[in-house]
Amino acid sequence: MRRIEAVNDFVIKFANVNGTGSASANHMFAKSIFRMGIPVSPRNIFPSNIQGLPTWYEVRVSQKGYLGRRGGVDILLCVNPQSMADDIQSVEPGGYFIYDSSKPLDQRLRRNDVEFIGIPFTQMCLREYDDARQRLLFKNMIYVGALAALLNIDFAVLKDLVGDQFRGKEKLITPNVHAMELGYQYATENFDCPLSIRVEHASEIGEHISYTKHILMDGNTAAGLGAIYGGATVAGWYPITPSTSVIEAFERYARRLRIDPGTGQNNFAIVQAEDELAAMGICIGAAWNGARSFTATSGPGLSLMSEFLGLAYFAEVPVVLVNVQRAGPSTGMPTRTQQPDILAAAYASHGDTKHVLLFPSTPKECFDMTAQSFDLADRLQTPIILMSDLDLGMNDHMSPPLEWDDEREFDRGKVLSAEDLDNMDERFGRYLDTDEDGIPYRTYPGTHPEKGAFFTRGSSRDVYATYTEDGEAYVHNMERLLQKFETAKEYVPAPKIKLAGKKTSVGALFFGTTASPCYEAIEMLADEGSAIDTIRIRAFPFNAEVEQFIADHDTVFVIEQNRDGQLRRLLINECELPPNKLISILHYDGLPITARSIAMSMRDSLTTNKVTPIRRKTAKKVKS
Amino acid sequence: MRRIEAVNDFVIKFANVNGTGSASANHMFAKSIFRMGIPVSPRNIFPSNIQGLPTWYEVRVSQKGYLGRRGGVDILLCVNPQSMADDIQSVEPGGYFIYDSSKPLDQRLRRNDVEFIGIPFTQMCLREYDDARQRLLFKNMIYVGALAALLNIDFAVLKDLVGDQFRGKEKLITPNVHAMELGYQYATENFDCPLSIRVEHASEIGEHISYTKHILMDGNTAAGLGAIYGGATVAGWYPITPSTSVIEAFERYARRLRIDPGTGQNNFAIVQAEDELAAMGICIGAAWNGARSFTATSGPGLSLMSEFLGLAYFAEVPVVLVNVQRAGPSTGMPTRTQQPDILAAAYASHGDTKHVLLFPSTPKECFDMTAQSFDLADRLQTPIILMSDLDLGMNDHMSPPLEWDDEREFDRGKVLSAEDLDNMDERFGRYLDTDEDGIPYRTYPGTHPEKGAFFTRGSSRDVYATYTEDGEAYVHNMERLLQKFETAKEYVPAPKIKLAGKKTSVGALFFGTTASPCYEAIEMLADEGSAIDTIRIRAFPFNAEVEQFIADHDTVFVIEQNRDGQLRRLLINECELPPNKLISILHYDGLPITARSIAMSMRDSLTTNKVTPIRRKTAKKVKS
Amino acid sequence: MSYSKPKFRHPDLPKNELGLSKTDYEGAISTLCAGCGHDSISAAILNACFEMSIEPHRVAKLSGIGCSSKSPAYFLGKSHGFNSVHGRMPSVATGANLANRDLIYIGISGDGDTASIGVGQFMHVVRRNLDMLYMVENNGCYGLTKGQDSATSDLGSATKKGRPNMYEPIDLVALALRLGATFVARSFSGDKKQLEPLIKAAITHKGFALIDVISPCVTFNNTATSTKGYEYIRSHADNMEVDFVPMREEICTSYKAGTTQQVCMHDGSSVHLHKTAADFDIHDRQAAMEAVYDHKKEGRILTGLLYMAHDSEDLHKVLDTVPKPLNALREDELCPGSRFLNSINEGLR
Amino acid sequence: MSYSKPKFRHPDLPKNELGLSKTDYEGAISTLCAGCGHDSISAAILNACFEMSIEPHRVAKLSGIGCSSKSPAYFLGKSHGFNSVHGRMPSVATGANLANRDLIYIGISGDGDTASIGVGQFMHVVRRNLDMLYMVENNGCYGLTKGQDSATSDLGSATKKGRPNMYEPIDLVALALRLGATFVARSFSGDKKQLEPLIKAAITHKGFALIDVISPCVTFNNTATSTKGYEYIRSHADNMEVDFVPMREEICTSYKAGTTQQVCMHDGSSVHLHKTAADFDIHDRQAAMEAVYDHKKEGRILTGLLYMAHDSEDLHKVLDTVPKPLNALREDELCPGSRFLNSINEGLR
Ligand SMILES: Cc1ncc(C[n+]2csc(CCOP(=O)(O)OP(=O)(O)O)c2C)c(N)n1
Ligand SMILES: Cc1ncc(C[n+]2csc(CCOP(=O)(O)OP(=O)(O)O)c2C)c(N)n1
Ligand code: SF4
Ligand code: SF4
Ligand SMILES: [Mg+2]
Ligand SMILES: [Mg+2]
């Protein structure tokens, strides 16, 4: 058997049972590698239940800084008998399978091209601990310790992490460290440590890219913090996986950062509403009344907010929605990732509507774009929908540190103060397009005793906000809304373009979490001699740069994580593009798309010179 | 002044105040002309309120059978001082303005190119009646009588109509006829009757097209009746203009046609739900349990049903929704017509979803397609959305008589009976694609004591309906749903193609109420020498014929009544078409699109040879 | 259109403490039916605000969809208003109030808007004890969509569209009492003497104040037992869109505390209103629930202020928000700036 | 996974009147947490159906979304089930029941599903008196989304996630009584002796039967006053996804009518359950409402059958539908055919 040889470049996957405390232990594992200066990207693959079902934790270790999923597993650590058979199958030839050898392995499952490492975790716990709960919990720490020995992880780093985690509960530190030591010791005594797959301190292997300033953060926490920085004061929300932690983060930070020093009271208000309709209603009411407000939701919540989103579009109320996408339709796979709500969000609600979407790709962008979305909403007086996803929102990602420009000021858009109103000669018209950019001026309720009051409604009105059924006034208003959408192109974040270095007629277009593996795939192809320019879309409406990029290439791959190629459709629709130019690469089985599969699809397409869109079928055979 | 000379070919418009009983009188007027064998198409243009605001009733009289709006008004009968100034402006040069001369006309409003006919309706009523209510009500009958004289309407026909209307309340007949006589007499005595614009019995002017078999019916009544014929037994609904009368009609007919002869009890159940979510939930529950069920709604209701529609798509529950479109977005103009929900309906709900849409164009099609939609829903196990609109739904349209083929049988689709299950060797799999058409077999609850039970859910499941988070099983299922959508193309109504007679590279594509005025516009252009082939879309997904038609033409006009050219987008998206081939002609001011404006747009486009989509701006100037 | 502005305005119209006259509290001309109870309620709100010398621009008016929900356009034209979507005004009001605790919030809803599509939001806004006046203009039917049954009791008329209401009605007053509402009242649109003081009290109350106002729909809430004239119109419009709406007068009443009054509706039917007596204990929730229940059993509708909590903690208290309106917080109070971000970054390494 | 099927089945397991044994009433293996109250309720339903000799395929199971709403998959595997969307099971059940009045409808919901997002649908299904057993598996929190407060009372635990519940709770039993529900009961998941007969009675009842079952969430509904062991885990998982769920035993209880029982929860807190006495008048709605209210004031939860109407007209009665299930009507009973169409055409000329 040829073993895989790899330093700081491999994929390890943990197979656990959920509710057994493994997530924290696995997190500590990933973080220890990160602290050694090596880029990691951990991914939690968890079931939609609370206890007793298989759950996996996949960690990509990549000195080169590839953070998307690669595809394939080099080391599998399995402490879940339920999934063991499949887990063994998933290991790459030459890889390792580490398992709990307390019970003998079913010999039929053995593979010759994989190295099996048995450690009697359960027995060790039975010997060491009396309490059932401790047995369960410390088992996780034991395997982390064993991995430290097997993979050459710096034990001191792990000890520090335990210290950090239990700060304030110091008595828990010693037993946890002890458990790790048990595992470490067992591994060193019984196996040839380290394995052929292992880590080295980045500094020691002389890597020039330094990640020491980088942070490890999940997108939802970043979005929650972005809302703090963006000045959100009101949040109405309703729990739903995978968006819940956006609001939880907002609340956690608000309790630290938004306490009024004078009174000790809150400079924010969070209401857990009765459902998503109410959550959006709360945001709309608050935004109408001049506060910055936001909510977060996922799939079904987006559908339920659709009527209210139409109101906010037509009544021109700024409001921010963080939509953390999951696998649909309907309840779908609530704990799996996808990018399937593009059309539902862009055209949410009946009638002629269009909404501004932002597509963050990293936690840093979740932070930046959430903060920015409040400026955009106020500036454009329309809902802004941040299109995150489960992979980005709920997993830790390595990211450059968060930054804030203290010179920057909130842009509250076109709001007239009492003074402005006093200085006005003409009659105030809420929907008058004074500046010819489609964006009218508004006033907050209570501003002025005599001037500036108006009636907001979801029904047709004239430029003075008076109800009307006059067809001309209606059309005039609808055309202005289109004009405003045109204006939006100037304000939304521009796409990121990376040229291949040499001239090429092939481009690739993607957004959000599809970006990382795409960049990696493009590099793979570049190594093979195929040059591909890339554009990462960061917002809808698409601006001129996007159109230009597509115009400049004969073929553009559009890579996304849904069945129907939704972003591609939106592009064709809104930029009036010839469809055959855009080649779909789709992946939507609920796990993040991998660099290998993207590279394969592109390679296929480029070599066979297909121009019709292809759909990558992940389904080989269906298990019944 | 040159007067318009027209026999059986003109537009007359009534300007009334709503809540004054004018609608019934105006209806009688239109129907009398219809009974004279002359095609009419009356349109009610009413406000979103109950009493006291301007309301109009526009009647197109067209011996040639053009039933769409033509544009322009030849005769305006105005009994509403509120709107008089604008009403006078709207009359075509050479036309007539008939008004209540009880008060003298403001001379500044007079036009020289229009003939003014003053009749003192109010004074006549004051003289004749003591009761205030009678004065209001009979005023309407008086002007109908006057019009009979002025336009040469057969008075006997009107008398018959009064008799029909008050059948069972005979004592009301005489006073109503009397009021008409008052008007008739006044007109004959004071004016040169008939006017240059007038009607003649169709038979008398020797027209070969006979409309004697035709009926006058509104689309909503037809849809309600279609649901009776289609075998609907359960309706959950929530009132909303302009869809309410669909259910009202269903109930009215059900109380006549669906009473069990044995027990005298109801063979149907109608529940006015607490909102649209519940209305759709009721339909889904009933359909899941094997009853045919449907609901009707409009704009905001469609948005609210979005989550449930996603469930029905994914869980594969047949259900029928009649969406009577109105001007959006949000509350929009609730009593005005549009076709603005195409995208919202086609892609309703988050995640990758697609829904089957039907586009009726006439009351007969409302009837046929509603009945057929139950077969389609059962056959395809998915929601079927009938896309009607206010113009079609709430106005009377002349239509060939309704027909029913007694040989036809309900197609309940793939449902296994207890016997089927007993005869099965293999294991029953609710989502097994046995026939390779994407459509699996289902069972109704309670069918068999041992076999065939399954669990329906909106979350991912395998072919045996067992919950799963397995990516392959998920993708397999999603691909099958796509396959099913492909199959749907074979079942949905085919488009109607009309070729120009001579070869042409120009085509026109339209649907629903846009069809009538389009056909008329195409004939106008044909007279001018421009040949245009037409295709009337009747369903989404679009089938091969649609694609072929577009492929066969260099330029295809897509005419629709919304701002964003939504059907055009759907076509480009789903048929992968080059957008520049499809030229939008849009109209969306809330009144039905007119033949004249379509002809003008086409003419413009054909002569200037523009190929970029144009948007017809109805808004000239905005009234404040 | 049922009430129109007087053409001529007397130069010395009575003024309130702010020096404003009633015309300063008017709104647009109503487009409701002549005699609609909702217009009487608008007038009562107008009067109450005038008499309380409330600055019109310090009021925010919110509503859902319906004839009732249109009415905020017809009073206090100098206030901002928000006519939102059907049944969801409570959430919009919640957000608005959180954004600026300094305004006075008046929510107007209908029985369809509140008891059918909006009953979930209604219940939850009661739980939040949001500081607002929540007025239900209760006509027992859906006015704007032409007369369907609503989920509230049949107010003064047993049948509409010919068929009896088939379901157990929802009594919003009882529901609110049950859910812990801190101010609960019921009145009749035509009883100014009772309604105006109730509105004043409700505006003064800190927390959620419900006034369920019986407000006859002159056009659709009609019974079979109707006058000859009415029957004529029914026949006339049979099987058609109701397209004739007779002009009606507003129904007014005035009666003493502790007495029962029979009020005759436009269609000849009647309701029996009973006013709470002077000794009614407005601080006993349980007793209020029982009184409502007992009167109902006897076919009477108890009106008046039925319950008011001794102390009431509104949502801001519960959420412990600062006294300053959240929409007035400055950027430096909201944005922690770069310094703090460094410490966050540190914690994520 | 908390209860698993026995590996070995005794050939002479007890049989019911249909000749079925309990295994014929089992469902899929539960994926709920060990010790979750919801599993006890599933077992109670299974037992009741077995003992009543109900044919499993004549039952239809309906639910919304939540841990509770998953549970219909874990009993009666031979019945059809429909796990719909969050909070909207009542409407789906309404449609299902209208389609086929011959099946037995069991709806399972959670407190989040019923009292928050679904409270509007809940109220309206009560009004319709739909013939179904509506079971709320009430744990006072959102289990599946990891422990947020729900709108029902804090059952046995004052705080979750460290902060107190801030709003007036909704008491579903009181609400249903108020709305005219015809069968209202409350019980505790671990009290088989009380729960099983209640389920049987509810299934037998013609009309809407609510059983609000207190059903501890062993994972999230925990108080600060918890045991040492628990605190350990809290600390361990601090500021992280709760990812450790200890294995627990089901909480059982059994106590006599008329007595109060203190039931200890997994986290050391307790609830005080009071069982209605033998002389409790189950036909007096007003008295039931008062009793619920009075017990609550004393910090006790009244359990048992609290109200049952003497006569109850279910929705089919109200709608006067035929006795034959609507889904079984033949085409010739539904479609009037061409003959009638001619007369319709005639009327439209
Ligand atoms: C989502 C939605 N569904 C339905 C409607 C149609 N609609 C308008 S008003 C109304 C009912 C109004 O009844 P109520 O609240 O009692 O007001 P009223 O007109 O009686 O004062 C309905 C159903 C709507 N606008 N939006
Ligand atoms: C529309 C929608 N919003 C939110 C969710 C997320 N969600 C799933 S279960 C649940 C709460 C369940 O609470 P409860 O009904 O009390 O059930 P439990 O898990 O406590 O038994 C929520 C909010 C969802 N599935 N759908
Ligand atoms: S329909 Fe009824 S509620 Fe609406 S305005 Fe007229 S009277 Fe008032
Ligand atoms: S989280 Fe709570 S409610 Fe959900 S299964 Fe676990 S114990 Fe039961
Ligand atoms: Mg009403
Ligand atoms: Mg719960």
Q: How many CB atoms lie within 10 A of CB D310?
A: 7
Bigger pLDDT: A294 or C349? Answer: A294
Q: How many CB atoms lie within 10 A of CB B192?
A: 9
Selected for mutation to probe chain B from D63, D69, D82 (highest B CB count within 10 Å) is D82
* CA D37 to ligand 4 center in whole angstroms: 8
* pLDDT of residue A8 exceeding 60: yes
pLDDT value of residue D178? 92
**pTM for this structure?**
0.95
Q: Which atom of ligand 4 is nearest to the CA of D70?
A: 5
Q: Which atom of ligand 2 is nearest to the CA of D220?
A: 20
Q: Is D150 in the pocket of ligand 4 (CB under 6 A)?
A: no
Q: Are residues B278 and B389 in the same domain?
A: yes
Give the count of domains, chain B: 4
Res. C11 pLDDT band, cuts 50 70 90: low
Q: Is D265 in the pocket of ligand 4 (CB under 6 A)?
A: no
Taking the Cβ of residue C240 and every Cβ of chain B, the question of whether any pair is shorter than 8 Å is answered with: yes
* pLDDT of residue B165 exceeding 80: yes
Query: How close, in Å, is residue C53 to chain B by CA atoms?
Result: 32
Q: How many CA atoms lie within 13 A of D252 on its CB side?
A: 8
The continuous run of DSSP H or E covering A601 comes out as helix A595-608
**Residue A594: strand pairing partners:** A69
Q: B275 and C116: CB-CB below 8 Å?
A: yes
Chain B residues whose beta carbon lies within 8 Å of the beta carbon of residue C244: 19-21, 24, 133, 136-137
**What are the tokens at A606?**
């480029």
pLDDT value of residue A614? 45
Residue B405 within a domain:
no
CATH number at B536 reads 3.40.50.920
Res. C228 pLDDT band, cuts 50 70 90: very low
Q: Is B371 in the pocket of ligand 1 (CB under 6 A)?
A: no
* pLDDT of residue A74 exceeding 80: yes
Q: Is D217 in the pocket of ligand 4 (CB under 6 A)?
A: yes
Q: Select from D82, D90, D124 the Cβ nearest to the Cβ of B288.
A: D82
Chain B residues whose beta carbon lies within 8 Å of the beta carbon of residue A390: none
pLDDT value of residue B610? 52
* pLDDT of residue A500 exceeding 70: yes
pLDDT value of residue C245? 65
Q: D143 and A23: CB-CB below 8 Å?
A: no
Nearest to A296 by CA among A351, A357, A250: A250
Q: Are residues B166 and B226 in the same domain?
A: no
pLDDT value of residue B127? 94
H helical segments located in chain D: 37-51, 67-70, 89-99, 111, 119-128, 172-178, 192-204, 228-236, 285-297, 315-319, 331-334, 337-347
Which positions ≥6 away from B324 have C-beta within 8 Å? B219, B220, B242, B243, B246, B296, B297, B298, B388, B389, B390, B392, B393, B394
**What are the tokens at A389?**
């996803």
Q: C121 and A274: CB-CB below 8 Å?
A: yes
* pLDDT of residue A306 exceeding 70: yes
Q: Are residues A469 and A572 in the same domain?
A: no
Supply φ then ψ for residue A534, to 5 degrees.
Answer: -130, 150
H helical segments located in B400-502: 418-422, 471-491
Cis peptide before B242 (omega within 30 of 0): yes
Res. B37 pLDDT band, cuts 50 70 90: very high
pLDDT value of residue A208? 55
Res. B468 pLDDT band, cuts 50 70 90: very high
Looking at 3.40.50.970, 3.30.210.10, 3.40.50.1950, 1.20.58.340, the CATH number of the domain D22-319 comes to 3.40.50.970
pLDDT value of residue D185? 97
| Domain end position, chosen among A153, A183, A212 | A212
Bigger pLDDT: C237 or B208? Answer: B208
Dihedral sign for Cα B257, B263, B264, B268, please.
Answer: negative
Q: D179 and C168: CB-CB below 8 Å?
A: yes
Q: What angle do CA C3, C6, C7 make, to 5 degrees?
A: 130
pLDDT value of residue D270? 73
State how far the Cα of A188 lies from the Cα of D35, in Å rounded to an integer: 39
B209-213, B455-459, D195-199, D217-221: lowest mean pLDDT where? B209-213
The continuous run of DSSP H or E covering A59 comes out as strand A54-62
Q: Are residues A127 and A266 in the same domain?
A: no
pLDDT value of residue A582? 96
Q: Is C46 in the pocket of ligand 1 (CB under 6 A)?
A: no
Residue A622 within a domain:
no
- CB D113, CB D65: distance < 8 Å: yes
Q: Which residues of chain D have pLDDT under 50?
A: 1-7, 156-162, 223-242
Q: How far is CA A344 from CA A570, B345, B485, in A?
A: 11, 11, 19
Query: How close, in Å, is residue D3 to chain A by CA atoms?
Result: 12
**What are the tokens at D275?**
């069982």
- CB C241, CB B242: distance < 8 Å: no
Res. A131 pLDDT band, cuts 50 70 90: confident
pLDDT value of residue C329? 98
Q: Are residues B254 and B309 in the same domain?
A: yes
pLDDT value of residue D241? 42
Selected for mutation to probe chain B from A350, A456, A581 (highest B CB count within 10 Å) is A350
Tell me the mean pLDDT in the region A349-372. 98
* CA D148 to ligand 6 center in whole angstroms: 9
CATH number at A159 reads 3.40.920.10
| Domain end position, chosen among B443, B475, B491 | B491
Q: Is D143 in the pocket of ligand 4 (CB under 6 A)?
A: yes
Q: Which atom of ligand 2 is nearest to the CA of D66?
A: 9
Q: Are residues A590 and A555 in the same domain?
A: yes
Nearest to C110 by CA among C167, C77, C155: C155
Chain B residues whose beta carbon lies within 8 Å of the beta carbon of residue C235: 166, 169, 172
Could you identify the residue written with the tokens 């009337």?
Answer: B536
What SS3 class is residue B597? helix
Which positions ≥6 away from C146 have C-beta within 8 Å? B50, B239, B244, C220, C241, C242
CATH number at B249 reads 3.40.50.970
Q: Are residues A313 and A436 in the same domain?
A: no
State how far the Cα of D52 lies from the Cα of B253, in Å rounded to an integer: 42
Residue B209 DSSP label: S
Res. B168 pLDDT band, cuts 50 70 90: confident
Q: Are residues A501 and A482 in the same domain?
A: no
- CB A298, CB A326: distance < 8 Å: yes
The β-bridge relationship of strands C80-83 and C59-63 is parallel
Q: D79 and B307: CB-CB below 8 Å?
A: no
Q: How many CB atoms lie within 10 A of CB B527?
A: 9
Ligand 1 atom 12: the closest Cα is on which residue? C66
pLDDT value of residue D164? 60
* Extended strands (E) in B160-245: 197-198, 215-218, 234-237
Q: Is C65 in the pocket of ligand 1 (CB under 6 A)?
A: yes
Query: Which structural domain range is residue B80 located in?
Result: 6-212
Tell me the mean pLDDT in the region A545-553. 97
Ligand 4 atom 1: the closest Cα is on which residue? D143
Q: How far is CA A445 from CA C56, C60, C322, in A?
A: 11, 7, 19
Q: Looking at chain D, how many residues does it have?
A: 349
* pLDDT of residue C45 exceeding 80: yes
State how far the Cα of B493 lies from the Cα of A256, in Å rounded to an integer: 62
**What are the tokens at A363?**
């936690």
Query: How close, in Å, is residue B402 to chain C by CA atoms?
Result: 20
Query: Which ipTM value was assigned to this complex?
Result: 0.95
Residue A48 DSSP label: S
* pLDDT of residue B205 exceeding 60: yes
* pLDDT of residue C4 exceeding 70: no
A-C contacts (CB, under 8 Å) = 227
Q: How many CB atoms lie within 10 A of CB A177?
A: 18
Q: If phi over 0 gives left and psi between -120 and 50 gives alpha, with beta otherwise, what is residue A205?
A: alpha
Q: Are residues A240 and A158 in the same domain?
A: no
pLDDT tens, position by position, B528-540: 999 999 999 999 9
Res. A326 pLDDT band, cuts 50 70 90: very high
A72-81, A350-359, C8-17, C262-271: lowest mean pLDDT where? C262-271
**Residue D80: strand pairing partners:** D60
Q: Are residues A595 and A450 in the same domain?
A: no
Nearest to D163 by CA among B275, A443, A255, A493: A255
Q: Is C142 in the pocket of ligand 3 (CB under 6 A)?
A: no
State how far the Cα of A213 lies from the Cα of A222, in Å rounded to an integer: 17
Res. A343 pLDDT band, cuts 50 70 90: very high
pLDDT value of residue B158? 97
Q: A240 and D1: CB-CB below 8 Å?
A: no
Q: Are residues A62 and A194 in the same domain?
A: yes
List of chains touching C (3+ CB pairs within 8 A): A, B, D
State how far the Cα of A165 lies from the Cα of A175, in Å rounded to an integer: 13
Q: Is B328 in the pocket of ligand 1 (CB under 6 A)?
A: no
- Residues from D contacting C (CB-CB < 8 Å) are 116-120, 123-124, 126-129, 151, 166-168, 170, 174-175, 178-180, 286, 289-290, 293, 318-319
* CA D150 to ligand 2 center in whole angstroms: 10
A-B contacts (CB, under 8 Å) = 270
Q: How many CA atoms lie within 13 A of C33 on its CB side?
A: 32
A233-247, B475-489, B610-624, D157-171: lowest mean pLDDT where? B610-624
The fraction of chain A above a pLDDT of 70, given in percent, is 96
* Amino acid (one-letter) located at A362: T
| Domain end position, chosen among B372, B399, B426 | B399
* Amino acid (one-letter) located at B376: L
Selected for mutation to probe chain A from C53, C79, C84 (highest A CB count within 10 Å) is C84
Q: Are residues A484 and A500 in the same domain?
A: no
